[in-house]
């Protein structure tokens, strides 16, 4: 029986628990193709490979293949693409799903080009139609939905949009059978010389279940304590509009929108944000959107599930007060 | 040493003027079009690299698509690029990353053979493929890095800062490379009258696939473009002049009902 792979970049702290979101779409694809799910773990040492295999077993993944090579310890797109392409050639999986974060989005296209096969990216839904992977994805800055299918023969590749699929609860754990795949990696022309960890206070914006964002309506950088406190009360992360990033009130790492981050938390709260299209594209796929703005005509209210027309400085302290009770 | 730099520019629908209800296929022309936003950062990065590399360096623009993309190329020439080519995209399936990357790689080899750096955007706003730059690098046998926010030239070595789940990574690059930019800390420079005049005089030759020796491998089939299902109308209530408390209570009840608090 053939396999559907989910790729786990277990080297150098790249993969997070969010990678387990790949399990559900892989099961959908595997059952449609009459295949089974196997994880391909990329690691630089045996300890990382083993702990990744354990985490996968907890999520019910019963089969793991590993590529372990010291060269994978430093991320280089050529090395990673080489490792995955060689593993695919050795084992011929039917399909390979990647987690569409900054790592696989960078090297998966190289895998596709090396093997001369199609890749569909950023899938928020995935099915199989006539044996071909068929995905639905956001396009035109999140405003419409595009359906695409793989057109080539052989292995089918897809990257999955972060947060599009849920990690299943209460799955029976498995003890995965582990198989090692040998590859011969050639040196890469890029070398990672340093990583400056961006200051993440608490929860990262992309992974947070709740995001509270502030805009120019907060009137001064010091008033962002209101945003921080509400985010704290809701166990969420802080986001910002570009207006306040451009004004130097907040770092670009917090910017949500077309030229910032795309988030889709369970709850998005917009404080003093007008709702310009370039902001909306970064958050409109959030499950629930709450907007607080003193202008009843602000476009953010068209996207909001619940809107309060009023002064954030009046509303937010009351909201926190009532949330405490 | 002088460097020959290529920038890949794509014209995309202007999403601020888009009317989703009128679209059944991804438009490549015929609606309000603009330079892909990330490509503006690619262009500015390339212009900076050209200045850093010094005398004799050039920036050449490539686009695969409709002839109306000349407007986007003109804007880029006005900002300081030297030359540009349009590769007729009629036979290249729109938004197919594998097909487009193969054609662009052939275009670099045929039209700018001395090129050592290609700068792109990280993803195009229309299809959001995010794959052309790295695929093109693989086809050329070059290095690649995407999601870059800065690329600099230190002597002969290129160095790129890219944003990942770990933070900001710095990579040193040897040899030829394709670099894909996202939002940078700098914006595209504005153009002056002299630039605009130069842009109007610059020829932007249209090349066929045969001219550049390109063949097309389709990677994907596009099935449909659809509107997002409408969200049910949200509730908007007044929260001022004495109604704040009641309104906030209602919000809290709503959040509780949704199991969000
Ligand atoms: C190419 C391009 C890319 C862009 N990318 C992005 C992006 O990635 N992200 C992004 O956010 N923007 C982006 N923008 C900018 C975008 O167009 C808007 O300018 C920006 O989002 C506005 O930010 P804002 O809502 O904070 O400010 P404003 O539009 O000034 O809105 C402030 C709001 O606060 C309200 N307000 C004022 N006082 C109060 C109060 N006391 N209580 C409650 N409400 C109050 C006002 O009614 C108003 O609606 C981009 C623009 C361009 C051209
Ligand atoms: N048809 C095209 N012509 C020129 N450049 C393109 C084209 N398609 C994609 N690119 C480049 O590749 C980048 C990423 O595009 P994509 O992979 O389609 O999201 C864009 O920002 C452009 O720099």
CATH number of the domain that residue A295 is part of: 3.40.50.1220
- Residue A187 included in any domain: no
The ipTM, to two decimals, is 0.90
User: Are A220 and B174 in contact, with CB atoms under 8 Å apart?
Assistant: no
B231 touches chain A (CB under 8 A): yes
pLDDT at A307 over 70: yes
B175 & B249 share domain? no
Say if A152 falls within a structural domain. Answer: yes
SS3 A175: coil
Contact A295, A270 (CB under 8 A): no
**Ligand 1 centroid from CA A161, angstroms:** 26
Q: Specify if B259 maps to a domain.
A: yes
Boundary of a domain, candidates B191, B207, B223: B207
Write out pLDDT tens, residues B102-122.
999 999 999 999 999 999 999
Cβ of A303 under 8 Å from any chain B Cβ? yes
In this structure, is residue A193 part of a structural domain? Answer: no
For residues A25 and A145, membership in a common domain is answered with yes
A250 touching chain B per CB within 8 A: no
Residues of A in contact with B126 (CB under 8 A): 139-140
Q: Evaluate whether residue B220 is within a structural domain.
A: no
Give the number of domains in chain A. 2
Quick one: pLDDT at residue A199? Answer: 56
Give the residue among A47, A102, A51 at the shortest CA–CA distance from A80: A102
Out of A180, A196, A217, a domain closes at A180
Residues A68, A102: one domain?
yes
pLDDT in tens, A281-306: 999 989 999 999 999 999 999 999 99
Nearest protein Cα to ligand 1, atom 14: A278
Domain check: are B46 and B87 in the same one?
A: yes
Please name the residues between 73 and 132 in chain B that touch chain A, using a CB distance below 8 Å.
95-98, 101, 125-132
H/E segment holding residue A318: helix A312-324
Q: Is residue A136 part of a domain?
A: yes
* A200 domain residue, yes or no: no
Residue B224 lies in a domain: no
Q: Tell me whether residues B235 and A306 touch, CB distance under 8 A.
A: yes
Token pair 């938004």 is at which residue?
Answer: B95
- One domain, residues B43 and B86: yes
The answer to whether position B53 is within a domain reads yes
Q: Which domain holds residue A84?
A: 3-180
Residues B183 and B253 in one domain: no
Q: Residue of the nearest CA to atom 52 in ligand 1?
A: A278
Interface check for B10 against chain A (CB to CB < 8 A): the answer is: no
Q: What is the pLDDT at residue B202?
A: 97
Distance from CA of A292 to the nearest CA of B (A): 9
Min Cα separation A180/chain B (Å) = 26
Domain total of chain B: 2
Residue A22 and residue A163 share a domain:
yes
The answer to whether residues A294 and A309 touch, using CB atoms and an 8 Å cutoff, is: yes
B238 shares a domain with B118: no
Torsion sign, CA atoms B158, B159, B161, B162: positive
Question: How sure is the predictor about A200, in pLDDT bands with cuts at 50, 70 and 90?
Answer: low
Same domain, B201 and B242: no
Of A259, A277, A301, the CB nearest to B236: A301
Band the pLDDT of B232: cuts 50, 70, 90: low
Q: Which of residues 195-214 of B touch A (CB under 8 A)?
A: none
What is the model's pLDDT at position B156? 84
Residue in this structure with the two tokens 């290129």, named with its chain if needed: B158
pLDDT of B45 reads 98
A295–B contact, CB cutoff 8 A: no
Instruction: Compute CA distances A59 → A52, A164, B250, whole Å.
Output: 11, 17, 39
Measured in angstroms, the CA of B168 and the nearest CA of chain A are apart by 5
Average pLDDT, chain B: 95
A191 and B143 in contact by Cβ < 8 A? no
Chain B residues touching A116 at Cβ < 8 A: 98, 217
User: Which of A180, A195, A216 is where one domain is finished?
Assistant: A180
pLDDT at residue A315, as a whole number: 97
CATH assignment of the domain containing A170: 3.40.50.620
The reply to whether B104 and B171 lie within a common domain is: yes
Nearest residue to A223 via CA among A290, A323, A311, A307: A311
Answer left, alpha or beta for residue B180, where phi above 0 means left and psi between -120 and 50 means alpha. Answer: beta
Q: Is the domain of B18 the same as that of B53?
A: yes
Are A138 and A253 within one domain?
A: no
Mean pLDDT of B136-152: 98
C-alpha B157/C-alpha A96 separation (Å) is 35
Which ligand has an atom closest to residue B63 CA? 2
Please check whether residue A219 lies inside any domain of the structure. Answer: yes
CA nearest B82: which of B39, B117, B130, B50? Answer: B50
A148 and A226 together in one domain: no
Over 70: is that where the pLDDT of B141 sits? yes
**Mind listing the pLDDT tens digit for each residue in A32-76?**
999 999 999 999 999 999 999 999 999 999 999 999 999 999 999
Distance from CA of A60 to the nearest CA of B (A): 26
Instruction: Decide which of B220 and A202 is more confident.
Output: B220
Same domain, A88 and A222: no
- Do residues A171 and A215 share a domain? no
How many whole angstroms separate alpha carbon A201 and alpha carbon A60? 32
Residue from the list A197, A258, A319 with its beta carbon closest to the beta carbon of B166: A197
**A186 neighbors B172 (Cβ within 8 angstroms):** no
Domain check: are B109 and B190 in the same one? yes
Q: Is A141 on the interface with B (CB under 8 A)?
A: yes
Q: How far is Cα B1 from Cα B203, in angstroms, rounded to an integer?
A: 27
Considering only CB atoms, A323 lies closest to which of B134, B225, B252, namely B252
Q: Which of residues 153-192 of A touch B (CB under 8 A)?
A: 188-192
Report CB contact under 8 Å: B235, A102. no
Quote the CA–CA distance of A39 and B164 in Å, as a whole number: 22
**Which residue from B131, B136, B171 is facing A121, i.e. has the nearest CB?**
B131
Q: B115 and B157: one domain?
A: yes
pTM of the model: 0.89
Contact list in B for residue A294 (CB cut-off 8 A) is: 240
Same domain, A173 and A230: no
Q: Are B202 and B154 found together in one domain?
A: yes
Q: Which domain holds residue B255?
A: 231-261
Specify whether A45 is located in the same domain as A169.
yes
B194 shares its domain with B253: no
Q: What is the pLDDT of residue B241?
A: 87
Confidence at A202, pLDDT banded by 50, 70, 90: low
Do A274 and A158 lie in a common domain? Answer: no
The alpha carbon of B243 is separated from its chain's Cα centroid by a whole number of angstroms, namely 47
CA of A273 from ligand 1 middle (Å) equals 5
Q: Supply the residue whose CA is at minimum distance from atom 8 of ligand 2.
A: B10
Instruction: Write the CB contacts of B230 (distance below 8 Å, at least 6 apart in sequence).
Output: none
* Shortest Cα–Cα distance, B202 to chain A (Å): 31
Confidence category of residue A201, pLDDT binned at 50, 70, 90: low
CB-based contact B136:A164 (threshold 8 Å):
no
Q: What is the mean pLDDT of residues A212-236?
A: 96
3-state secondary structure of A229: helix
Q: Exposed, middle or buried by CB within 10 Å (0-12, 13-18, 19+), for B91?
A: exposed
Residue B198 has pLDDT above 90, yes or no: yes
A204 confidence band (pLDDT: 50, 70, 90): confident
Query: What percentage of chain A carries pLDDT values higher than 90?
Result: 87
Atom of ligand 2 nearest to the CA of B123: 19
Please provide the average confidence, as pLDDT, over all residues in chain A. 94
Q: pLDDT at position B229, please?
A: 80
Q: Which residue has the tokens 């053979």?
A: B113
pLDDT over threshold 60, residue A257: yes
Instruction: Confirm whether A8 is domain-assigned.
Output: yes
Token code pair at residue A30: 């595997």
């Amino acid at each position: 029986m053939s396999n559907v792979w989910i790729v786990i970049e277990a080297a150098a702290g790249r993969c997070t628990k969010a990678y387990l979101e790949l399990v559900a779409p892989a099961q959908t694809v595997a059952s449609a193709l009459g295949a089974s799910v196997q994880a391909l773990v990329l690691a630089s040492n045996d300890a990382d490979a083993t702990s990744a295999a354990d985490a996968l077993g907890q999520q019910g993944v019963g089969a793991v293949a590993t590529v372990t090579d010291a060269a994978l310890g430093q991320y280089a797109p050529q090395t990673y693409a080489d490792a995955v392409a060689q593993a695919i050639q050795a084992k011929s999986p039917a399909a390979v799903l990647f987690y569409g974060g900054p790592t696989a989005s960078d090297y998966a296209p190289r895998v596709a080009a090396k093997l001369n096969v199609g890749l569909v990216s950023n899938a928020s839904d995935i099915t199989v139609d006539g044996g071909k992977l068929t995905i639905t994805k956001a396009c035109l800055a999140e405003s419409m939905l595009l359906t695409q299918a793989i057109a080539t023969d052989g292995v089918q590749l897809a990257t999955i949009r972060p947060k599009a699929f849920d990690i299943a609860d209460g799955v029976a754990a498995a003890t995965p059978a582990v198989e090692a795949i040998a590859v011969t990696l050639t040196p890469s022309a890029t070398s990672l010389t340093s990583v400056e960890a961006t200051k993440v206070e608490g929860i990262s914006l992309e992974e947070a279940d709740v995001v509270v964002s502030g805009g120019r309506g907060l009137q001064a950088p010091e008033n962002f304590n209101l945003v921080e406190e509400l985010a704290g009360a809701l166990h969420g992360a802080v986001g910002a509009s570009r207006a306040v990033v451009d004004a130097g009130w907040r770092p670009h790492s917090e910017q949500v929108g077309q030229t910032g981050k795309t988030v889709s938390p369970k709850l998005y709260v917009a404080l003093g944000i007008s709702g310009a299209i370039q902001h909306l594209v970064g958050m409109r796929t959030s499950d629930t959107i709450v907007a607080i703005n003193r202008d009843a005509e602000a476009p953010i209210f068209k996207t909001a599930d619940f809107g309060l027309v009023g002064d954030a400085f009046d509303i937010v302290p009351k909201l926190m007060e009532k949330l405490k009770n | 040493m002088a460097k020959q730099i290529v920038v890949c520019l794509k014209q995309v629908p202007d999403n601020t003027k888009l009317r989703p209800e009128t679209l059944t296929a991804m438009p490549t022309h015929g609606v309000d079009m603009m330079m892909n936003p990330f490509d503006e950062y690619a262009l500015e990065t390339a212009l900076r690299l050209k200045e850093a590399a010094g005398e004799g360096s050039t920036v050449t623009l490539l686009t695969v698509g409709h002839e109306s993309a000349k407007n986007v190329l003109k804007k880029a020439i006005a900002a300081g690029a030297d030359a540009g080519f349009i590769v007729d995209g009629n036979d290249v399936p729109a938004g197919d990353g594998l097909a487009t990357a193969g054609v662009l790689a052939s275009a670099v080899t045929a039209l700018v053979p001395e090129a050592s750096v290609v700068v792109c955007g990280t993803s195009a706003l229309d299809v959001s493929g995010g794959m052309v730059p790295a695929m093109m690098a693989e086809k050329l046998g070059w290095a690649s890095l995407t999601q870059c926010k800065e690329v600099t030239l230190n002597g002969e070595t290129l160095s790129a800062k890219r944003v990942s789940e770990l933070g900001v990574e710095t990579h040193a690059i040897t040899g030829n490379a394709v670099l894909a930019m996202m939002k940078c800390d700098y914006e595209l420079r504005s153009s002056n009258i002299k630039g605009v005049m130069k842009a109007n005089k610059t020829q932007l030759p249209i090349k066929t696939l045969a001219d550049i020796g390109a063949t097309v491998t389709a990677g994907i089939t596009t099935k449909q473009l659809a509107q997002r299902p409408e969200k049910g109308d949200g509730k908007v209530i007044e929260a001022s002049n004495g109604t704040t408390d009641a309104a906030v209570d209602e919000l809290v009840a709503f959040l509780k009902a949704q199991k969000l608090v």
